[in-house]
A and B are shown apart, each in its own frame.
Chain A
Amino acid sequence: DIQMTQSPSSLSASVGDRVTITCRASQSINNYLNWYQQKPGKAPKLLIYAASSLQSGVPSRFSGSGSGTHFTLTISSLQLEDFATYHCQQTYSIPFTFGPGTKVDIK
């Protein structure tokens, strides 16, 4: 199985901050990397697919980059509604695996 790691595991930030979350794969996954946002008690929501493609309806302050084994999710200017947990997922090979999540909370 491909192992996914995320850093940091949690972070505290303020509204307006630029936030970057890193996701690493244990082997190359090309760009088969998706990002999801999950709020407490809710289902995950797709933000980014194919490492850098913004899902329809997702604000442009979210962006993704990377390929191979190293990926990043950036929120250019954090908004109140962005406080949540972010998960990366590789879909290069079965079983599709998720990272452990990064919780973004209010400083």
Chain B
Amino acid sequence: QLQLQESGPGLVKPSETLSLTCTVSGGSISSSNYYWGWIRQPPGKGLEWIGNIFYSESTSYYNPSLKSRVTISVDTSKNQFSLKLGSVTAADTAVYYCARDCGGDCYDWLDPWGQGTLVTVSS
């Protein structure tokens, strides 16, 4: 079955760029009309939608609160998609999840999710 796995540094310095990759296994990232998304959850807090990307034409949508700092990209040859968040501060400390997004025609539900990776912003 489809599985997603986040990877990347667990510690990032303030003002630097957070970079994470989500590797998709058990299926092709370009096989269907799915989007691929990122969501984060600060410790002890709620979930925040970061954005998503479609594999074809690399159409992407971002949370306006993060848009100036975020880029989501896809690499179909590696069956991966990635998140870059620039100029990070302590407020960006969170567990970052990747997930498959079924798209607007089916209510953009998110399933499955990766296990999540904690990224701490600290000097």
A32-B107 contact in complex given A45-B113, A95-B63, A95-B65, C-beta closer than 8 Å: yes
Categorize the interface residue count of chain B: 20 to 34
Which residues of chain A come closer than 8 Å to B62, judged between CB atoms?
A: 95
B48 touches A50 (CB 8 A): no
A94 touches B47 (CB 8 A): no
How distant is the Cα of A96 from the Cα of B62 in the complex, in angstroms? 9
Which residues of chain A come closer than 8 Å to B110, judged between CB atoms?
A: 34, 36, 44, 46, 89
B116 touches A87 (CB 8 A): no
Contact with A along B41-65 (1 / 0, CB 8 A): 0000011110000000000011111
B113 touches A91 (CB 8 A): no
B81 at the interface (CB under 8 A from A): no
Which residues of chain A come closer than 8 Å to B109, judged between CB atoms?
A: 34, 46, 49-50, 55, 91
How distant is the Cα of A62 from the Cα of B111 in the complex, in angstroms? 17
B111 touches A55 (CB 8 A): yes
6 other A-B residue contacts (CB within 8 Å) besides A31-B107, A95-B49, A95-B62: A34-B108, A43-B115, A49-B107, A87-B46, A95-B63, A98-B48
